[in-house]
Structure 1
């Protein structure tokens, strides 16, 4: 699925980070969402590599990256810590400044990456998210029903982990398959990769810690930014699915304009998994934005 890409495991701040690199040109970092891996980019990565040096990575706790142990304050899986992984990856590949394309959880990492390391991020394209703080603060019944896993995964251990571990494949098939396009949106090879990785020991705890961090320490970091009047300064574009809960429950552009100076974006005729449901539309958006 990644012809011409070289796989490389590098040492990040908390263990191994699994990466792939391909193409040539300006550097572009791709960050995946939950409960997936870097494989989610397989329908656009090769085309992007004709224009950019594309670097893909598995977030800590996902894919073939390390699953560091949890801590009581959830610092290990804070988006600040995960952003440091991204910086370590790009520096290892020789890049101090780069553009970012990110989806879902990876887009939350990208938000923190841009906030904490603004000199490193030139432009950023985020897929199907609004700012975490705004989404938690404005949760409605409709959002809670659609994003039930946000509230399930943050429950104290060990219950969520134990339930996931009884059948990890069933868990991801439920999360992914009950959205707009169902499981038909995913290539068999990609689905096999997601299913393999969710069964790696420690994955359930890592997933839960990712979400627990988002509901605790990440909100602390976000509130500090808001209190200090900090806004993202690089050009930011956001895309969301017409049939996804984010666009239906939130005013995506308005919420991002509260957190960034230069924001543009639009909805696309698809659901949450834009890179796999509407790859041609995403590719066109990415090329237009990143080559401006």
Structure 2
């Protein structure tokens, strides 16, 4: 039976003096292993609620809000840069704090969560028994990215794009999930997920867009470093991509899969958020990887 997500499954864990993460943990009586979900922009851990509940009958399931998102900490940029490599350190520390056995761990990371995971895997080949990634930009290929994302990476337009995104909070919390999909493929996200993103949009002086912009300001450097280190990536990988992803074209996934010799699953009719558009597909991909 699936487990409810409630006050007993969501708590906070201190990573260091600057960062406390809000997390969700669903525990099985006899877990076959652990699954850790890592969200993207503009999401929070609530993006994984349905998928987590479905897997919690057999696995210990974890998810957390990245710094800058949801109800996790938002240190000032002199304390934390919000770069992918900093997020990789947060992931490493979370796994240690949570006491997860990495030999039995599967990580499913999408969007901004994927590159930090792979950067860490380069340094720690035994990070997980399996890493599943998708709908992200492993390499510096702006031609495969949505125009606003290209502008966030670098250059004079970066500040204006960030300001425009901050000014359009309500639109970002409503429309990106189905943008680029035909009307018949549109889907609704849960009200509590919408409310959680809205509540966590601004904490102190920083919005989730500000954190996202900081991440992207370091993105080209991190992509170039990752590409230079591909030969060191030894952790088993699976790549899952929405065929209709508007934000990161599937060609990015095709190249990545070829370069690392990993299996690529293209999900027909699915956009940038497979776990929200069709949770059952995500559940099936994870169960397949765990067999």
TM-score (norm 2): 0.83
| 1:282 paired residue number | 282
Report the count of equivalent residues.
275
Distance in structure 1 (CA, Å) of the matches to 2:178 and 2:197: 13
Residue 68 (structure 1) shift: 2.0
Match of 2:210 in 1: 205
**Is this contact kept in 2: 1:154–1:209, CA < 8 A?**
no
Superposed counterparts of 1:175-254, under 5 Å: 175-180=176-181, 184-200=187-203, 201-203=205-207, 204-216=209-221, 218-226=222-230, 229-230=231-232, 232-245=233-246, 248-250=249-251, 252-254=253-255
Change (3 A) 1:78 1:117: farther
By how many angstroms is 1:174 displaced?
A: 4.5
Number of the residue aligned with 2:53? 46
Q: Give the distance between the partners of 2:45 and 2:149, measured in 1 at CA.
A: 21
| Matches for 1:88-99 after TM superposition, within 5 Å | 88-97=93-102, 98-99=105-106
CA distances 1:72-130 after superposition (whole Å, capped 9, x unpaired):
xx972222211111121121111241220111111222222222222222101113235
1:109 aligns with 2:110: no
Q: Does 1:17 align with 2:18?
A: no
The answer to whether the 8 Å contact 1:5/1:22 transfers is no
Deviations 1:209-268, CA, capped at 9 Å, x for gaps: 01112123x134324414xx32x222211111122237855162442331x35x112111
Aligned residues of 1:154 and 1:212 also touching (Cα < 8 A): yes
Q: Any gaps of 5 or more consecutive residues in structure 1?
A: none
Matched-pair contact (CA < 8 Å) for 1:130–1:246: no
Equivalent position of 1:273 in the other structure: 273
What's 2:152 paired with? 153
Query: How big is the alpha-carbon RMSD for the aligned residues of Structure 1 and Structure 2?
Result: 2.6
Indicate the larger mover: 7-16 or 266-275.
7-16
Match of residue 30 from structure 1: 37
**2:125–2:234 CA contact under 8 A, matched in 1:** yes
Residues of 1 paired with 2:281 and 2:213: CA distance? 32
